Structure 1
Amino acid sequence: MAHDGKAVHRSIVAVDIEGFGARRRTDADRLEVRTGMHQALREAFGTAGADLSSCHVDDSGDGVLVLVPPEVPKSTLVDLLPRALADALARHNEAAEPGAAMRMRMAVHAGEVTFDAHGVAGSAIVHAFRMLDASRVRVLLAKSDASVVLVVSAWIQDEVVRHLEPRVSARFTADEVTVKETTAPVWVRLFPAEASESVSRRMPQRPAADWRRHAYVNHDKLFGARDTVDAVTAAIMNERGGDVVSVVGEGGVGKTAISYEAVQAAVGSGGFTRVAWVSATKPHSGAGNSGSEPYRVTYWSDLQLEIATQLGLDLGPSRALWSAEFGRRVAGLDPGERLLVVVDNLETVPDATDAVQQLRRFGITNPHRLVVTTRWELTPHVDTVREHRVSPLSSADALALVRHIGANDPGLRSAPDSALQPVLDVTGGTPFLIRLAVRQYLSSHHPLDQVLHRLRELRDEAAPDLAAQVRSYLYVESLRELERRHGEEFADALLGAFCVKGRGDAFRFAELGEVSGIDDEDGFGAVLSTACQLSLITSFGDASEATLDRGYTIHSLLYDFTCGLP
């Protein structure tokens, strides 16, 4: 290859091995994986009619960059090549030990590249690797049983994919990735392994999805949070960093949702073998809470039992021995095991520091990870914590959220940004309050001008604690709408039921019906549905689950308002 400094056009194929650095792999496994990677690529390129020896190949350790000459049809690279690669990986995994089995992410782009004496460079190559490294692409593969996930650029989609046969092009799904300073549209497709049943049993086991059932989130899209999600994900995955990752911010800014996305991406990377997600539902510190030792022991015993159960650790029947047994079980794990524990809704500094100290005593220290969400900074109180602050949304992101929630409402669709400014002013860019305000408007069917006028009045009153006044107003208006539709008795019974448990705790459908005391089954289902529509209650769990299996909770801010806590 001549090094004359002139750029030339090349198709760009980049691949990366899922979970190459995972602790479940030994160094011998990684050597076998690398050998298998190159063999699989040679086989796949040969099957696709593109001789790999005619391409420029750079090895990155856990992946490969291939620059393909122009005479190779790009249509081959987005269909036949990934299918052939999935088949080659299946053959490798059939013979490999579990630690050496592998799956791959694959990115395809094209553009100008420049060769020099040391290799090759070009913005198109940078873009290909940004697509390959995106957390959304990692998660897509992690949540599937496919052998290969392919991500292609907008250029490849427009110039190549959309011109393929409809049966092929229709299998690509539009998405968007954000990595570092890059935010770009992409199209993705999964390629399953054509492998025998024995291969699937030999594939490295990823953590079960059960942890998601315990995460009280229900969002379809985050706004203004991509950088924070990526930073938290990187902190969780960094094996050289501290063992505690703290996600800190005011109530309602989206700490739980951001943590959920980051944990999902980190788990998808293959770096963790067991995951637990718990909500700190019975805080023992601060005003109105007992600080007595018996209460604290009972609380932490319950919490550690829940964590241990999710992690698959048997603590035995004796509560008095649980702490010691937890530590022994963690210490006795296989060296390849890596645990990830999330403790959500730690409302005070004493609660958060106590959680960290207790779990460290239980053995949740490096190489394991502990993620906590809290309203207060922990760096002055906890060693080796990596803290990530979640801020309210910018005006642009807040407006995007308003329009996203009200996408089907003509008034919101046609309203100029300036008309919606009161929503931003009184909610302060807090996603929870924005959702509450917009959902209340949509459910009330009041004129948009009337709703915005009242919000302007709230803003202009300039109360000493505007945030508290806004929350109270939004809660009261939403509760009034709930009462208008279903009666005061049903509304009060439903919301009051959450005061039986602790802040941030949750109910399953049948349990909530029983505790609320609403005997009318149809009436209970109807008032619950409306409360969810108004964002007074959050339902969580897999959307494919039956209603009876879903969980229900209320935000900690609404809990304080409803249950009369300070």
Structure 2
Amino acid sequence: MTPHPPIASDHVHRSRHALAVVADIESFSGRDNREQMRTRQDLYEEVRTAFGASLWQSCYSEDRGDGLLVVVPHSAGAAHVIGEVLPALDRALSGRRRGDPLLRLRIAAHAGDVYADGEGIGGHAVNHAFRLCDAEPLRAALKAARSDTALLLSDSLYETIAHDGHPSVTPAAFHAVAVTVKETAARAWLHVPGDEAAAAGAAAAAPARGSEAATTEAAPPAQTGGVSFGSGNVTITRGAVAGRDIVRHSARRRWWQRDG
């Protein structure tokens, strides 16, 4: 396996505003090794196809074993990803052959400042997207859904997309839910393509109160020094935060290194 080239050292801890999309495969750990590897291959094929070659090449991705992180540059437009790319992915999954491995995805998205260093991608925006993907309302919605994806948007991302007025996004199809995962307590917006009852049921079980302004993950705290420390699977170094176990980095796409 050819290693990916390292990120240039003069761009350590550089940030760009971007969309962080996390996808996680439902019931992955219960599969044998052969089926897990086949499912992973299918995941990447379906995601790449839904994004399209041009958009995919402009993104950055990291493998997470049972899922993946995709960081989409701000110039691509979050509304395009939410309104066109993810629905295309859901349609593709619903059309898979009966003999293919079951591929159902929890998907979460949040936009914010994303940091890059020599090890990959981090920051509060990335952490928040992962917290949303672990949220119980999202898990419950996918478990109950007839479709093969369930989507959870951060409060701020939902507000931005709702105001954009993208023709493929119907704000009323998203349901406010309360998310409590680790240090995060937030409001988020749940959508299940083609199965509003599943989203509404999950939302009723986790009614939202307050807004994302009260979360600890949505906005970074002020930095007061250069201390570097680690705790569990989270590492903080001078304001760059890397969370959750990282399996592999894909450093071929380094759009954050460009000025402007």
One-letter code aligned to 1:40 = E
Structure 1, residues 281-326: CA drift from partner, whole Å, max 9, x if none? xxxxxxxxxxxxxxxxxxxxxxxxxxxxxxxxxxxxxxxxxxxxxx
Do 1:113 and 1:125's aligned partners in 2 also have CA atoms closer than 8 Å? yes
Equivalent pairs, count: 191
Classify the secondary structure of the residue corresponding to 1:156.
helix
Residue in structure 2 matched with residue 4 of structure 1 by the alignment: 12
Q: Give runs of aligned pairs for residues 320-335 of structure 1, distance below 5 A.
A: none
Are the equivalent residues in 1 in contact too, given 2:93–2:104 (CA < 8 A)?
A: yes
- Determine the C-alpha separation between the residues in 2 that align with 1:90 and 1:146: 7
2: CA distance, partners of 1:221 / 1:4: 39
| 3-state SS of 2:193 partner | strand
Correspondences of 1:68-217 after superposition (within 5 Å): 68-91=72-95, 93-97=96-100, 100-164=101-165, 165=167, 168-192=170-194
Q: Give the structure 2 partner of residue 407 of structure 1.
A: none
AA in 1 matched with 2:42: G
Q: Which AA in structure 2 matches 1:70? A: H
In structure 1, what is the equivalent of residue 38 of structure 2?
A: 32
The structural deviation recorded for 1:220 is 5.8
Any idea what SS the aligned residue of 1:61 has?
coil
Q: 1:174 to 1:53 in 2, by over 3 A?
A: same
Which structure has the higher relative contact order (CA within 8 Å, separation 6+)? 2
Q: 1:166 Cα shift?
A: 9.2
Instruction: Give the gaps of 5 or more residues in structure 1.
Output: 194-218, 223-566
1:60 to 1:145, Cα distance in 2 relative to 1, 3 A: same
Task: Render the CA deviation track for 1:63-95: whole Å, top value 9, x for unaligned.
Answer: 11011112101111212111111122224x315
Paired with 2:152 and 2:98, the residues of 1 have a C-alpha distance of 28
Give a deviation string over 1:47-70, Cα, whole Å, max 9, x none: xx8521221100000111011112
1:441-480 alignment, distance < 5 Å? none
Q: Distance in 2 between matches of 1:77 and 1:6?
A: 24
How big is the shift at 1:162? 4.1
Task: Tell me, yes or no, if the aligned pair for 1:154 and 1:185 is still in contact at 8 Å.
Answer: yes
- After TM superposition, list the pairs within 5 Å mapping 1:306-345 onto structure 2: none
Q: Calculate the TM-score normalised by the size of structure 2.
A: 0.68
Tell me: CA distance 1:221–1:111, structure 2 relative to 1, closer, same or farther (3 Å). Answer: closer
Identity of matched residues, %: 32
Aligned CA-pair RMSD: 2.4
TM-score (norm 1): 0.32
Residue 184 of structure 1 deviates from its aligned partner by: 0.4
Provide, for residues 231-285 of structure 1, a one-character-per-residue CA deviation record: whole Å limited to 9, x for no partner: xxxxxxxxxxxxxxxxxxxxxxxxxxxxxxxxxxxxxxxxxxxxxxxxxxxxxxx
The answer as to 2:57 corresponding to 1:53 is yes
Q: How do 1:347-426 residues align onto structure 2 when only pairs under 5 Å count? A: none
Q: Which has the higher helix share?
A: 1
- State the match for 1:19 in structure 2: 27
Gaps of 5+ in 2: 1-6, 196-203, 208-260
Letter in 2 for 1:15: A
- Please give the alpha-carbon distance, in whole angstroms, between the structure 1 residues aligned to 2:114 and 2:169: 32
In 2, are the aligned partners of 1:82 and 1:191 still within 8 Å (CA)?
no
CA contact (8 A) 2:162 2:171 kept: yes
User: Larger % of strand: which?
Assistant: 2
- Give the superposition deviation at 1:140: 0.8
The Cα of 1:136 is off from its aligned counterpart by 1.4
Q: Distance in 2 between matches of 1:150 and 1:50?
A: 23
Runs of 4+ in structure 1 over 6 Å off: none
Q: Give the Cα separation in 1 of the matches to 2:97 and 2:144.
A: 21
8 Å CA contact 1:15–1:107 kept in 2: the answer is yes
- Structure 1 counterpart SS, 2:42: helix
Give runs of aligned pairs for residues 516-555 of structure 1, distance below 5 A: none
